[in-house]
Amino acid sequence: MAQGTGFFFDEKCFWHSGGNYALTLPVGDLVQPLAAGGLPESPETKRRLKNLMDVTGLSAELHLRSAPAATDAMLARVHPSDFLEKFKSVSDAGGGEIGLRTPFGKGGYEIAALSAGLATEAVRAVATGDLQNAYALSRPPGHHCLPDWPNGFCLLANIAIAIEEAKAQGLLQKVVVLDWDVHHGNGTEAIFYDRDDVLTISMHQEHNYPLDSGDITDRGRDAGLGANINIPLPPGAGHNTYLYAMEQIVLPALKAYQPDMIIVACGFDASAFDPLSRMLASADTFRQMTKQIMRAAENLCDGKLVLVHEGGYSEAYVPFCGHAVIEELASSDIRAEDPMAAALAKRQPNARVEAFFATLVDEMAKTFASPPG
């Protein structure tokens, strides 16, 4: 019988280092370095989430685990050997950058493989019934990484690697990946775009990152036609629009697909305080979406649900978003009350704007109700 909620993390993942950037701009003649230095994808958002869980006592209610790094064989199911060899060579030589906004230091290859390993072990533990559900605090993230090209802070495709390993072990057949990171999950989409055994759903700020992907018309290809859903939301969509999009598009798609497991690419960069988005989500937004997806998992796949950490760049606010999600996963009575809840409630779109956003969601829902092509 499945027991409790797992939380997979490893201190070494916090040691992944970025390069000479100011947010997403390479430091140069006209770009002054930030006081904190490097990319916004820093270890502190993740470390402070774990610290907050320790302080509130939530950690004590979880099954805290690490995991072995993903093996070369696991990585090779998703990434071609020439890419992996180049990544390892640059990593061994002291680090560098082989993609777009994906700098890493010496040992970056091993840390990225460990990040993928955390996701892989979380999926395995839930798929086998060892745990009811799980959260993997993976870092570096993975949902932008293409098979042969790291991208957008993502060095390896963590969730895809985890899915392929579970499939190789005969643990899963049909999987849904729901990506609520504020940026389009282009890497995950690309990996499974021509397959129907993985339904990929990305709910993101329209044309935030990447600028040229995530359109509603991108529905998959060949056997995968209809197994890819993009939900591009306008800037400022806010709490109610996220929940409405879940109700009108995501949950019906899950019911129609009937997965063996649901995996969430769990970014917290749709929050109102994130430097890389303009979406006005709050900690309660993520809490309510977690409730929605847990109910779906209970009805469709015996509660088999794994969340894998992706983006989120507000060091002060990500911990409250993550804590809210993990409270729900663990059915815990412990709370880390959101200190910005009242202010964010006031800053939500007014009723007229929300009504307009709802019409956009309704139009998208009609599109997805029709066969693609």
181 Cβ contact partners less than 8 Å away, ≥ 6 residues apart: 143, 202, 204, 265, 266, 267, 269, 270, 310, 311
Contact between 182 and 278 (Cβ < 8 Å): no
Domain that includes residue 221, residue range: 5-369
Q: What is the mean pLDDT of residues 222-228?
A: 98
Tell me, what's the pLDDT at 26? 84
Pairing mode, strands 95-96 and 104-105: antiparallel
Whole-angstrom distance, CA of residue 66 vs CA of residue 83: 26
Q: Which residue has the higher pLDDT, 24 or 351?
A: 351
Tell me, what's the pLDDT at 2? 61
Whole-angstrom distance, CA of residue 157 vs CA of residue 251: 25
- Going by the DSSP 8-state scheme, the letter that residue 85 receives in this structure is H
Q: What is the mean pLDDT of residues 206-219?
A: 97
- List helix spans (H) across the chain: 44-56, 72-76, 81-92, 108-127, 158-168, 186-192, 238-245, 251-257, 283-301, 318-329, 341-346, 351-369
Whole-angstrom distance, CA of residue 373 vs CA of residue 371: 7
Tell me, what's the pLDDT at 61? 98
Q: What is the mean pLDDT of residues 83-102?
A: 96
Average model confidence (pLDDT) for the chain?
A: 96
Tell me, what's the pLDDT at 36? 66
Residue 18 pLDDT class (50, 70, 90 cuts) = confident
Ramachandran region, residue 207 (left: φ > 0; alpha: ψ -120 to 50; beta: rest): left
Does residue 32 surpass a pLDDT of 90?
no
Residue 83 pLDDT class (50, 70, 90 cuts) = very high
Catalytic residue, chosen from 16, 79, 143, 144, is 144
Tell me, what's the pLDDT at 131? 98
pLDDT in tens, 286-324: 999 999 999 999 999 999 999 999 999 999 999 999 999
Contact between 269 and 42 (Cβ < 8 Å): no
Whole-angstrom distance, CA of residue 368 vs CA of residue 256: 11
Does residue 42 surpass a pLDDT of 70?
yes
CATH code of the domain covering residue 284: 3.40.800.20
Q: What is the mean pLDDT of residues 50-59?
A: 98
Q: What is the mean pLDDT of residues 222-233?
A: 98
Give Cα separations from 9 to 119, 139, 262, 271, 325 (angstroms).
Answer: 9, 9, 20, 23, 16
Q: Give, for 201, the enclosing helix (H) or strand (E).
A: strand 198-205
Does residue 96 surpass a pLDDT of 70?
yes
What is the three-class DSSP state of 215?
coil
Does residue 114 surpass a pLDDT of 80?
yes
Whole-angstrom distance, CA of residue 202 vs CA of residue 307: 14
| Count of domains forming the chain | 1
Give Cα separations from 276 to 36, 89, 307, 335 (angstroms).
Answer: 16, 31, 21, 27
Which amino acid is it at 209? Y
Which among 132, 198, 135, 195 has a CA at the least distance from the CA of 166?
198
Whole-angstrom distance, CA of residue 350 vs CA of residue 343: 14
CA torsion sign for 105, 109, 110, 111 is positive
CA dihedral angle for residue 190, residue 196, residue 197, residue 199, rounded to 10 degrees: 60
Whole-angstrom distance, CA of residue 242 vs CA of residue 42: 26
pLDDT in tens, 354-369: 999 999 999 999 999 9
323 is catalytic: no
Q: Which residue has the higher pLDDT, 266 or 17?
A: 266
Output the furthest CA–CA distance in the chain (Å, rounded).
60
Residue 30 pLDDT class (50, 70, 90 cuts) = confident
Does residue 63 surpass a pLDDT of 90?
yes
Q: What is the mean pLDDT of residues 240-245?
A: 98
Q: Count of CB atoms within 10 A of residue 121's CB?
A: 22
Residue 3 pLDDT class (50, 70, 90 cuts) = confident
| Count of all residues that appear for the chain in the document | 373
Q: What is the mean pLDDT of residues 122-131?
A: 98
Pairing mode, strands 305-309 and 261-266: parallel
Tell me, what's the pLDDT at 359? 98
Tell me, what's the pLDDT at 187? 98
Q: Count of CB atoms within 10 A of residue 105's CB?
A: 15
Does residue 128 surpass a pLDDT of 90?
yes
What is the three-class DSSP state of 151?
strand
Give the angle 349-354-356 at the CA atoms, nearest 5°. 130
